[in-house]
Structure 1
Amino acid sequence: MPKCYTNQEKDEIKRRLMEEAGYCMAQYGIKKTTVDELVKRVGIPKGTFYLFYESKERLLWEVILVAHEQMEREMAEKVAAVDLTGDTLDALTDLFLGFYQMAEEMPVLQILNSEEMNLLTKKIPAEEIAAHQKEDTVEISRLFAQIPLCEGVDIGAVTAAFHAIYFATLERDKIAPEDYEKGLRLLIGGVLMQILA
């Protein structure tokens, strides 16, 4: 018979699972992170893991979403603080560049590349991924609602452009290091130049 946990114990187990999943992803990647390793680190029976998550992919997806939400909150705060009376294009380019650099430095997101993401997203229902992408579009809409945009800007296309830039950062190792930041700045500035009023 499975052990009954108090709400406080459940919260602590879930927090520890997410924390250790983040460490394991950063250390081993998605493919090599195992439920056995996670339960060993957290000190729970393997069956207890499945009381919280149906699979390791579900846990890893949640860890990535939490990191993503944290970045979105920070980005929203920074966009709200941008001085729109000066050179808005340069200010926002710097801000978005910093956002991508922050993503690259987050241990959970550092190890991700197209292959790792494909491995994970194959295990997550397509409708859930689509819902996340739709929510992303809403969040980007909120961000850009604070900025003067050209009339008729297609926020869905803007979201897709910034996603494309993000996925390009996952392949950073295929770009000459001395050109990487300049290229990233050029991509970000090019998108912003087309949408700012």
Structure 2
Amino acid sequence: MPKFSDAEKEIIKQKLMQEGERLFTSYGIKKVTIDEIVQAAGIAKGSFYSFYSNKEHLYMDIAGNLQFKMWREMDAFLNENRSLPPRELCKQCFLWMFKELQRYPMLKQANSETADYLYRKLPPEVIEAHTKDDGHELIKLQEYGVQFKCGIEIATKTLQTLAISFLNLQQENAADQQTIMELILDGVLKEMISDEGD
């Protein structure tokens, strides 16, 4: 196993994430090989395995990093819209995130096929860690008055399922996509979130 200094590890990891994102965005997770990733990053194949057990793990690391950037931007959105009733705030936040996906092509192109593939290829603990990260963001919504009628874990998994479903709507025209998303969100959020009028 290669020995790297902490500085070298950071440089290599950033290069893997940068080139991985570029390749996954261009070709999709199934078509990209580890050989292509290491060639683009300029490292030996053995070095790749010092960082990741497989390309799917790298993909999840990149996706998590991109989501983290979006969540930081979401903080500003929540602050600007904190006067909305809780259910409406959650709905507008979810719709805002889907508009923001335009800035993150790798996340935007994910769909149920991508999710199914990752669930098959990754160990359950990697998927569970991703779910926990999403759950932490939902907990943050509670600071803005959002109270979930169900547990955070169920709310997280429900909203993750919705997110993948909404990604599958990308073939629809923009007006239909927006209408469908709003109808689904209205129904789901009514069941999940307590509101002032309840």
- TM normalised by structure 1 equals 0.83
Correspondence 1:15-34 to 2 at 5 A: 15-34=14-33
Answer whether contact 1:137 1:155 (CA < 8 A) is retained: no
> What are structure 1's unaligned runs of at least 5 residues?
none
Q: Given the alignment, which residue of 161, 184, 194 partners 2:158?
A: 161
> Which string of whole-angstrom CA distances, capped at 9 and with x for unpartnered residues, describes residues 119-157 of structure 1?
1221211133234324422320221332254xx721434
Are 1:185 and 2:191 counterparts? no
Q: What is the CA-CA distance between 1:162 and the residue it aligns to?
A: 2.0
1:153 aligned partner, one-letter code: K
**Is the counterpart of residue 121 in structure 1 residue 119 in structure 2?**
yes
For the residues of structure 2 that align with 1:154 and 1:90, how far apart are their CA atoms? 17
Letter aligned with residue 179 of structure 2: K
User: 3-state SS of the aligned residue for 1:20?
Assistant: helix
Pair 131,54 (structure 1): closer, same or farther in 2 beyond 3 Å: closer
Q: TM-score, normalised by structure 2?
A: 0.82
Change over 3 Å in CA distance of 1:175–1:155 after alignment to 2: farther
Contact kept, 8 Å, 1:26 with 1:108, in 2: the verdict is: yes
Q: How does 1:62-101 map to 2 (within 5 A)?
A: 62-84=61-83, 92-101=90-99
Query: Is contact 1:114-1:171 (8 Å) kept?
Result: yes
How many pairs were matched up? 193
Cα RMSD after superposing both structures: 2.5
Instruction: Structure 2: give runs of 5+ residues left out of the alignment.
Output: none
Separation of aligned partners in 1, 2:127 and 2:85: 36
Task: Give distance in 2, aligned partners of 1:186 and 1:15.
Answer: 40
Partners of 2:53 and 2:86 lie apart in 1 by 46
| Residue identity in the other structure for 2:54 | S
Q: Residues 172 and 180 of structure 1 are in contact (CA less than 8 Å); yes or no, is this contact kept in structure 2?
A: yes
**Cα distance, 1:191 vs. partner?**
3.8
Residues 90 and 134 (structure 1), Cα distance of their counterparts in 2 relative to 1, 3 Å cut: closer
Offset of residue 173 of structure 1: 4.0
Segments ≥4 residues shifted beyond 4 Å: 86-92
